[in-house]
Structure formats: C-alpha cells, structure tokens
A and B are shown apart, each in its own frame.
Chain A
C-alpha cells in the first residue's frame, strides 16, 4: 500500500535528472505487490554528506568524453559498490585530479577521432571501452547496460531490452514484475517508448535514423513512459513539467 508520504517522496526523487537511478537501494524487481512507487525511496539517496571530503563535486554530466564517465561524487545506489567510506573518499579525491588530467589528454585525442572504428569501442588511456551504454527505465532505480556492438538492428536491441526489463520466462519476475507481454518499444503501441541521448545532449526517439548512424551518436538509452515522451525535444529544458509523474 502506498501512502501519500511515500508517493510524494518517491516522485520527487525520480525527478532529479535523466538517467540517474534514484531512490537508492531499491529492490529493482518488484513483485507487483505495491507497484513501483512504494520502492521509490528504500534506502537513502547518497548526498554530499556521505562523502565529507567532497565539496561541491556534484559535477553535471560533461559531454566532453563519450564513454568515459565524468567524475561524480555520488554513485547511483546507496552503498554500492560495497566500498568502505575511507576508501570511497580517497577514490573521489583521485577522480578530481584524474579528470583534470584526462581532459588535457582528451584535447589531444580529439584529433584522432575521425580514424576511430565505426563501432562504439574506443581506447581511452590505454583501456578498452566496450560498446556498453547505460539503459534506464522510468520507475526502475537500477540501470542496466547493453552492448550495442552485440546488436545489429533496432529490433534486436528492442528485444534485448524487453527481455532485460520485462523478462517473460515463466517463474521469473522481470524488473517491474507486472508486464509479461512483449512491449513493442518501437512501434509506439505500448506504454513505453525507447529514447536515447545523443552526443549533443539531446533526447530523441529511437528509430528515426539509420542504425549505423545511431550507434555512433548514442550516449545512453532511456525507456520512457509514452505519456512523457511528448514534446521530447523540449524535455531537457523544462524539468518542471515532469512533476506530474505517475507511479509505475
């Protein structure tokens, strides 16, 4: 049963930004008992208070580095990965100095971008980054990752996502538990649509551009409620519109 208080908290925490998994510590698999809303706030959202040595390091996503994550002081789930706070503080401090260094190197590497292979794999600082990108779904706190290089088409990708978030095997519960029929994320006939954020930071509906072009420009995916997908281009400019969230 969802009380008003829970619902209110859950809603405001779902607000905070595209792609951020919120309401930390949430059991992502909801057995359909009380719906998504009740789980909006299990555990605490990490705040700067949890990282006492971090000042205002809550960096906004910087689009500078495709694939390489910007230094963020708050991870998306409370207490995950399970690293003690002393160690976490030390890592966060390292991130700050490292990102400064990396941005210098990024400047040098941009020149070579044209020679990069067409798929999403890049080599940054000697480490191979696979074609994994984050996928978040409205109402589910824990994000997932998909390997774009393992897919050949939009249909392929949609199938994987449907399996991932709405597993249809009997005896198992998908991440939201309630839906057991295929979603048809691409044809606009279901409750959800698939959207993506491109390199310029704009959110678009998936499926409009050729696949090869898509995988070079996609930064991350979001399974969004159809009701919210209206006026997609304007969304990231007016976060206040999203106050009217419905519980999942």
Chain B
C-alpha cells in the first residue's frame, strides 16, 4: 500500500518552494501533486507567450498573483525581428481580467502593450501592485497615467528601455493626491520633461519609496531637490548630469548625495561631466551596483571613482575604461560579481582599441567572485580565454562580443576554438554563453560536449558547415534557447535533430542556409513546434531550396498562432503550399 502525503501537508511543504523550476518538477510527480502544486502556485512565469494559451494558464493556476511573460525573441533587441511580428499582451490581460482578478503583479518583456491594455489592467485588478515593462512598445504616457491614477495600491511602476509614445510629463501628476504606496518608480526611458514640482510632491508623499530612476530630462537641480526629499533611497537613476559648472551647484550636489546613506545602486549619469563625479564619492563605499554605461568619462576619472567602490558587485561601464581601468577594478572591487563593458563607438569601422582581452584577464584574475561577463572588444586571443577559464571556473554567464566578425586570435591567427573549448570545459556551471570571433566547427564540438549546463547560447558569424549546428543540437544537454545569425548551415542538422527542438524553448536562425523546403518538412514532422518563416522580402515563387531570411521555431501546446502578420509564414496559415517530396541531402 502506497503512503500518500495528505494534501494539507504537501501544501505546507510547497509553501516553502518558490522556484518555478522546482515547482515544475513537483507537478510531474503524480496527478495529486500536480493538483496541489497548481492550486498553490502564486508566481507564474511564461517564457514564451505563444507556448501556451492565456486561458490555459489562468485555468491551471487559480491562485496566481504574479504573471511574468516574454514575447519577442531576444534578437528583437538588435532589430532582427521586423515590426509587427507579434507578442501582444492584450489577449493575456483580457484572459486574466476575466479569470484572475486577484492578479497583483504583471511583468512583461519584449511585448506589444497598448494604452487600452494598460487601462484594462488598471480597471480589472483591484489590488494591482506591480507593473514592470521591459523592452516593450505600443503604448503612450496616457496608458501610464491610467495606471498611476487608478491603481491605488501601486507599489512598483518600472519602464525599462521601452519605446513609449511620449505625450508629455503630465502622467506624473496622476498619482493619488494622498500618500502613495510607491516603492519603486522607473521612467528613465521617457523623453519628455516632467514638472519638477510634480516630482517633488510625489516623492514627498511616497514614504516607502526606495528606488527612483529619473529620465535624462531631469536636471541636476531637479536631482538635488529630489534627493533632499528622499534620502532613504537605495536605488537611484540620475537624470542628466551635465549643467553649468557652478561651484554652488557642485556643493549642493555633494551634500545631497552625502545624505543618502542607504544608497546601494546608482545609474543614469547621462552626459556626466567628469568635474561632477567627485560629488558621488561619498556614496561610493556603500555602492553594490553602478551603471556607468552611459557615462562618456575617461579612464582616469573612472578609476578615481571606482577605487572608492570596494563593495561593488555589479559594474556596467563603457570601454573608455581601458585595460588600465579594468586593472584598477581588479584590485579595488574585490566583491565584483558582474561586469559589462559596452562599446563607445557603434561603428564597425572603428580601429580604436580602448579595451583589449587584457582588461578582461585582469578582472578575471583579481575578482574571485566574478560570475557574469558581457564584454565588447575588437579582438581576442585563445590564451586570454584559457586564462579566464582557468581563473574563473565559477563563471555562470559569459558573453564575449568580438565586434570584428571572423576575427581570429590576433596573435596566432588561429580560430578561437581552443579558447572557447577552455571556457566550456572549465566553467562547469556556465548557463549562458555568447561566442564570437573566428570559430570553426571544432569549437562547437567542444561546446556541445562540455557545456552541459548552458541554457542559452548565442552565435554570430561562425562555423564552417552544418556540423556546427549538429554538434550543438546533439550535445548541450540543458539547451533551452539557441539563437544564431549569419552562419553557413541549415537543413540537414536541423532535420536530424528535430526532436531536440521539443526540449527547448526556442531556436532562432537568421541569415543562415535554411531552405524553405526544410521549414515545411519540419513543420509537418513536428506538430508540437511552431515553425515560423519570417521573410520581409519573400521571392515571388518559393522553390524548395530557396533560403529563408529568418526562422523562429518554438515548442508550444497552444497550437499555431492566429495573429501572424503577412511576412510570417507558417504551415498552418499557408497549407496550400504542401510539402512536396524533397530530397534532402
């Protein structure tokens, strides 16, 4: 006789389990565990909004309080997904409004959100608390005003890198006149000016405010006045940091910052004039996160600032920091966990080399807790990669972007195969990897074999043949998201490893050699995958061997989607183009 755990007990145990990965495992044990789990899950995460229908999610999780959704594929961030592709939030909001009115938190990433949608949110969820929109578009400041005015218990309103139709700064005045429950407000991506008096009053009546990220339109004077009213802030995104260099302005700024004794995270700093940086010195010792990636400040000034940041865990900076600056970071910022170095010149033609592989080597050697790297530079060497892997086997995220496509190891002229082999082999906990530079199929053989925990892999301008894709799809045990651009392969590897695709969230391939025929065949063979061919300039006739511009494949239990635009072809939408007898070599 099997012992059964009473559901009450199981419920109690599950109340300690937050991680959705664990909860997903729990729900696979047996039907009764599935039932208990689903009735107790409060935070629901849907990594691909087209993988499941909103109704199914609402039905399965009646106690849902928080919903996180992701829409467009990651490469949409780099303009590789044409406008109008999809990722609409509305159907989700509609479904939740009907079935889950107790929803309190909505987090959307890369989705199209309209003002109507925002108004619906405001109107439907009585206890709405958290709205975080990351890389979303399709709405205006009117929609934000609706949220501000209607959601009386709003705690978090964050617009991160969204594209918003900015109709002016009025939205800020729509928050309730009495005290607000705001804990976090981020409007850094909005363009237009907000009235400083509105902002001052909002801050004054928001006693719980801990995180505030201003937009560049807020001046230094405005910042000073805000800081005076909110010295309790733990996270601050400044506005524009440039102003006439008046000594009184500097003193006021310095004083305002020195009163912010709890400040841990600092960002913004657009147009920062180096002369104003010393005003930040007082908060440096307490900072754990510093985003200088919009600050076009030179190395000496950066070092002066960073050497005071001994507790820094997260640093985002431009390559103006130079190798020397990174050497300083390696010696002063011993708590560093995450480093991102962004290019200061977007032009591929730039031959200036402010950072080289040496900078990253310094940090890898000096910062023992380093686990997440995003590094842009012009070229690299195998030796550097090998050193980095040896010194930092604890790396979890390694994204190297060698800006020069096909750049070999510039000292030996070899591909960077050996280097990335070392990374894949040495960093056993690596979950995210982006490769670049000159890479042959060999590199991917190593990655396929050794990168057992890599869940997300990004590849551009690499490989020699279909073997590359084959190595990845037949290896990489934990692979969930694979995105590839400009690599010379397609059909064979794709079709041979079709089954793998059902174990992954999605596969993106653009400017590769995938033929139309293969897409159709894959579509037909794998009904639980949505195969989307995204072609903005499709040829008049579609011979089977014609290559497609982009292909986006994802597993789904929702079936084919109904909201595809003209330029997205799916077998379901275009059944008249049957799958002919193909000879796939």
What is the interface of chain A, defined by CB distance below 8 A to chain B?
1, 3-6, 9, 21, 25-31, 33-34, 38-39, 41-44, 46, 50, 67-69, 71-72, 75-88, 90-92, 94-95, 98, 124-125, 127-130, 132-134, 142-145, 147, 171-173
Q: Are B401 and A81 in contact (CB under 8 A)?
A: yes
Provide the bound-state CA to CA distance between A41 and B539, in Å. Answer: 11
CB of B169 within 8 Å of the partner chain: no
Q: Are A86 and B189 in contact (CB under 8 A)?
A: yes
Provide the bound-state CA to CA distance between A58 and B408, in Å. Answer: 30
Q: A81-B343, A81-B346 are known contacts. Are A173 and B465 too (CB-CB below 8 A)?
A: yes
Q: A87-B293, A90-B294 are known contacts. Are A72 and B513 too (CB-CB below 8 A)?
A: no
Most B CB within 10 A of own CB, among A27, A68, A134: A27
CB of B487 within 8 Å of the partner chain: yes
Q: Are B342 and A87 in contact (CB under 8 A)?
A: yes
Instruction: Report B214 CB to chain A, min CB distance, Å.
Output: 15
Q: A28-B406, A68-B352, A79-B485 are known contacts. Are A6 and B539 too (CB-CB below 8 A)?
A: yes
Provide the bound-state CA to CA distance between A125 and B352, in Å. Answer: 10
Residues B259-309 near A (CB distance < 8 A): 270, 293-294, 296
Q: Are B403 and A81 in contact (CB under 8 A)?
A: yes
Measured between beta carbons, the chain A residues less than 8 angstroms from B461 are 28, 142
A72: contacting residue among B82, B343, B349, CB under 8 A = B349
Instruction: Report B566 CB to chain A, min CB distance, Å.
Output: 16
Instruction: Report A9 CB to chain B, min CB distance, Å.
Output: 6
Most B CB within 10 A of own CB, among A29, A46, A81: A81
Q: Are B161 and A86 in contact (CB under 8 A)?
A: yes
Q: A41-B537, A83-B78, A84-B161 are known contacts. Are A130 and B464 too (CB-CB below 8 A)?
A: no
Provide the bound-state CA to CA distance between A47 and B346, in Å. Answer: 14
A172: contacting residue among B189, B343, B410, B440, CB under 8 A = B440
Q: Name 5 extra pairs, CB < 8 A, besides A69-B349, A129-B351.
A: A27-B487, A28-B406, A128-B353, A134-B349, A142-B461
What is the interface of chain B, defined by CB distance below 8 A to chain A?
75, 77-80, 82, 135, 161, 163, 189, 270, 293-294, 296, 342-354, 376, 401, 403-407, 410, 440, 458, 460-461, 464-465, 485-488, 510-513, 536-537, 539-541, 543, 545-547, 549
Measured between beta carbons, the chain A residues less than 8 angstroms from B82 are 44
A31: contacting residue among B80, B348, B458, B513, CB under 8 A = B513
Which A residue's beta carbon lies closest to that of B270?
A90
Measured between beta carbons, the chain B residues less than 8 angstroms from A46 are 79
Measured between beta carbons, the chain A residues less than 8 angstroms from B537 are 5-6, 9, 41
Most B CB within 10 A of own CB, among A29, A68, A82, A142: A82
Q: A28-B406, A173-B465 are known contacts. Are A130 and B353 too (CB-CB below 8 A)?
A: yes
Measured between beta carbons, the chain A residues less than 8 angstroms from B345 are 69, 91, 95
Name A's interface SS.
Answer: loop
Q: Are B352 and A84 in contact (CB under 8 A)?
A: no
Provide the bound-state CA to CA distance between A132 and B294, in Å. Answer: 28
A-B contact pairs, 6 of them (CB 8 A): A27-B487, A38-B547, A44-B79, A81-B343, A82-B458, A128-B353
Q: A81-B343, A82-B77, A142-B405 are known contacts. Are A1 and B348 too (CB-CB below 8 A)?
A: no
Q: Are A75 and B346 in contact (CB under 8 A)?
A: yes
Provide the bound-state CA to CA distance between A31 and B515, in Å. Answer: 13
Q: Are B346 and A92 in contact (CB under 8 A)?
A: yes
Q: Are B488 and A31 in contact (CB under 8 A)?
A: yes
B347: contacting residue among A72, A87, A128, CB under 8 A = A72
Instruction: Report A229 CB to chain B, min CB distance, Å.
Output: 23
Measured between beta carbons, the chain B residues less than 8 angstroms from A67 are 351
A27: contacting residue among B401, B458, B486, B543, CB under 8 A = B486
The 10 residue pairs across chains A and B that have the minimum distance between CB atoms? A79-B78, A69-B349, A42-B511, A29-B488, A3-B539, A25-B511, A127-B352, A91-B346, A79-B80, A81-B403
Measured between beta carbons, the chain A residues less than 8 angstroms from B346 are 75, 81, 83, 88, 91-92, 95
B77: contacting residue among A34, A69, A84, A98, CB under 8 A = A84
Q: Are A25 and B353 in contact (CB under 8 A)?
A: no
Instruction: Report A164 CB to chain B, min CB distance, Å.
Output: 8
Instruction: Report B387 CB to chain A, min CB distance, Å.
Output: 22
Q: Are B486 and A1 in contact (CB under 8 A)?
A: no
Provide the bound-state CA to CA distance between A120 and B414, in Å. Answer: 24
Measured between beta carbons, the chain B residues less than 8 angstroms from A147 are 410
Q: A46-B79, A69-B345, A72-B349 are known contacts. Are A30 and B488 too (CB-CB below 8 A)?
A: yes
Q: Are A50 and B547 in contact (CB under 8 A)?
A: no
Which B residue's beta carbon lies closest to that of A220?
B349
Instruction: Report A71 CB to chain B, min CB distance, Å.
Output: 8
Provide the bound-state CA to CA distance between A143 and B545, in Å. Answer: 27
Measured between beta carbons, the chain A residues less than 8 angstroms from B540 are 3-5
Measured between beta carbons, the chain B residues less than 8 angstroms from A86 are 161, 189
Provide the bound-state CA to CA distance between A78 and B79, in Å. Answer: 7
Q: Are B547 and A26 in contact (CB under 8 A)?
A: no
